[in-house]
């Protein structure tokens, strides 16, 4: 079985609550990796693997997805099905049941996976006569917080799946790339819901419990998950490292960008359409500037993902930063970079490499300093001369 002729089902219905406040206005799959939505990279890798039919399960923010991509992408038709309520990944897959026939590929629209990983899963499933599911796995020293898989290396059979494992067995990390047969739908329905949600992985476990053959393959292919705000930096940096930012290039500078002769560009960078970089500014390395971003004279931007329509004022310093759209960083403001302690919900993650996250339309008036790990909600105004730390709720006025 090559991937040609297979339908791919891409699960893109979730919000991504751990990436708030960036997901307050758009779904997680539409957040940027380099300067394109993560979901666009997912589609690219599927098509590069030979997929010619894609079903997209949408839900939260579905209009943003459908308006961006329309009915086709790179001449491949996109079929949209809606998960009306967010009742788990298994529930999302059930929404696509009528759209698929025979074996099909399943993956998540908010994870960066390479075409090699997709091909490895396809080839392994093809080599098995009786597998009802084949899982793509990657080798990681720590699988805590993800799905762990126990694999018999000799037979290639999966014997156990554990969400967020805490014991010391030899787990492989579940990379979220699957080929499954039609049996998966009844298995999902048979699995007992947890906290009111139907889990796709629980459906796989149900197949195991009933004695069905579930296979796994450990791949060296690209896999990066964007779970937390700092992961958006890692996703973009992985694209740089793999040289797949723009086709085969590790850097890309739009012809419509305006870069002053005295500005310094340190590759790798992605500089999108209509960006303007002023005299004496330094951009890079590892910087992604979305469309219509302005970097003022003398400003320094390093290791950052700056989304569209953002303005960085003159002599500003922006390091290790993720922004939403339409952000203003005023003149002389300093975001010195991580590591810092970052609060996500009720958890604090220590020493994460995040200078700051500024959500959509944050307006920084200039001369401000950001303590590493600061998260600023959308539509917040930061008055000149302030020190910003911790988590700032959306619509707040931060005074000096």
Question: In what helix (H) or strand (E) does residue 276 lie, and over which residues does it extend?
Answer: strand 276-277
Place of tokens 């996500």: 344
Question: In what helix (H) or strand (E) does residue 369 lie, and over which residues does it extend?
Answer: strand 369-370
pLDDT of residue 242: 63
Question: In what helix (H) or strand (E) does residue 47 lie, and over which residues does it extend?
Answer: helix 38-48
The mean pLDDT values, 10 residues at a time, for the chain of 400 residues are: 73 83 85 86 90 92 91 94 86 88 91 88 88 90 79 83 82 90 90 81 88 89 82 82 55 90 94 96 94 97 95 97 96 92 84 92 96 94 95 90
pTM for this prediction = 0.86
Contact of 136 with 117, CB cutoff 8 Å? yes
Contact of 185 with 207, CB cutoff 8 Å? no
- Asked whether the CA dihedral 17, 376, 397, 277 is positive or negative, the reply is negative
Collapse the DSSP code of 321 into the 3-class scheme (helix H, G, I; strand E, B; otherwise coil) and give the result.
strand
- What are the structure tokens assigned to 24, written together? 């307050």
Q: Give the total residue count for the chain.
A: 400
Please give the span between the terminal C-alpha atoms of the chain, in angstroms, as a whole number: 63
Nearest Cα neighbor of 4 from 170, 86, 118 is: 118
Query: C-alpha distances in angstroms, 101 versus 59, 176, 180, 184?
Result: 22, 21, 11, 12
pLDDT of residue 1: 45
Contact of 45 with 109, CB cutoff 8 Å? no
Q: Which residues contact 102 (CB under 8 A, 6 or more apart)?
A: 181, 182
- Asked whether the CA dihedral 34, 40, 41, 44 is positive or negative, the reply is negative
The number of angstroms, rounded, from the C-alpha of 214 to the middle of its chain's C-alpha atoms is 27
pLDDT of residue 231: 84
Question: Where does 284-346 show beta strands of DSSP type E?
Answer: 287-289, 294-295, 300-302, 304-306, 311-312, 317-319, 321-323, 328-329, 334-335, 340-344
What structural domains does the chain harbor? 7-225 (3.90.550.10), 232-398 (2.160.10.10)
Instruction: State how far the Cα of 136 lies from the Cα of 127, in Å rounded to an integer.
Output: 14
pLDDT of residue 263: 97
Instruction: State how far the Cα of 177 lies from the Cα of 278, in Å rounded to an integer.
Output: 43
Question: In what helix (H) or strand (E) does residue 81 lie, and over which residues does it extend?
Answer: strand 76-82
- What are the structure tokens assigned to 177, written together? 């790339």
- What are the structure tokens assigned to 276, written together? 């303007």
């Amino acid at each position: 079985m090559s991937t040609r002729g297979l339908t791919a089902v891409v699960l893109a219905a979730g919000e991504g609550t751990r990436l708030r406040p960036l997901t307050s206005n758009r779904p997680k799959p539409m957040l940027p990796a380099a300067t394109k939505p993560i979901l666009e990279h997912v589609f690219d890798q599927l098509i590069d693997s030979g997929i010619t039919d894609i079903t997209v399960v949408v839900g939260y923010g579905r209009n943003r997805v459908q308006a961006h991509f329309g009915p086709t992408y790179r001449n491949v038709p996109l079929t949209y099905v809606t998960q009306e309520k967010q009742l788990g990944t298994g529930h999302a897959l059930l929404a696509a049941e009528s759209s698929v026939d025979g074996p099909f590929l399943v993956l998540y629209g908010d994870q960066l996976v390479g075409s090699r990983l997709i091909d490895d899963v396809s080839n392994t499933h093809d080599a098995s006569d009786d597998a009802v599911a084949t899982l793509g796995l990657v080798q990681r020293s720590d699988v805590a917080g993800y799905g762990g898989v126990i694999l018999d290396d000799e037979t290639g059979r999966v014997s156990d799946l554990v969400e967020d494992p805490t014991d010391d067995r030899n787990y492989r990390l579940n990379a979220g790339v699957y080929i499954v047969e039609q049996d998966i739908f009844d298995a999902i329905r048979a699995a007992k819901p947890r906290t009111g949600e139907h889990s796709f992985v629980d459906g796989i476990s149900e197949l195991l419990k009933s004695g069905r053959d579930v296979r796994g393959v450990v791949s060296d292919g690209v896999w990066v998950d964007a779970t937390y705000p700092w992961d958006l930096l890692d996703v973009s940096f992985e694209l740089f490292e793999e040289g797949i930012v723009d086709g085969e290039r590790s850097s890309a500078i739009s012809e419509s960008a305006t870069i002053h002769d005295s500005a310094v560009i340190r590759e790798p960078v992605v500089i999108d359409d209509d960006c303007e970089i002023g005299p004496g500014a330094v951009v890079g390395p590892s910087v992604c500037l979305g469309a219509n971003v302005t970097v003022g004279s003398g400003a320094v931007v390093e290791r950052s993902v700056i989304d569209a329509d953002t303005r960085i004022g003159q002599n500003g310093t922006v390091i290790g930063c993720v922004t939403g759209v339409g952000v203003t960083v005023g003149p002389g403001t300093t975001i010195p970079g991580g590591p810092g302690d970052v609060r996500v919900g009720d958890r604090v993650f220590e020493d994460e490499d995040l200078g700051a996250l500024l959500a959509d339309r944050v307006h920084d008036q200039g001369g401000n300093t950001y303590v590493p790990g600061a998260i600023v909600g959308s539509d917040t105004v930061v008055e000149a001369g302030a020190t910003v730390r911790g988590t700032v709720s959306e619509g707040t006025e931060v005074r000096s």
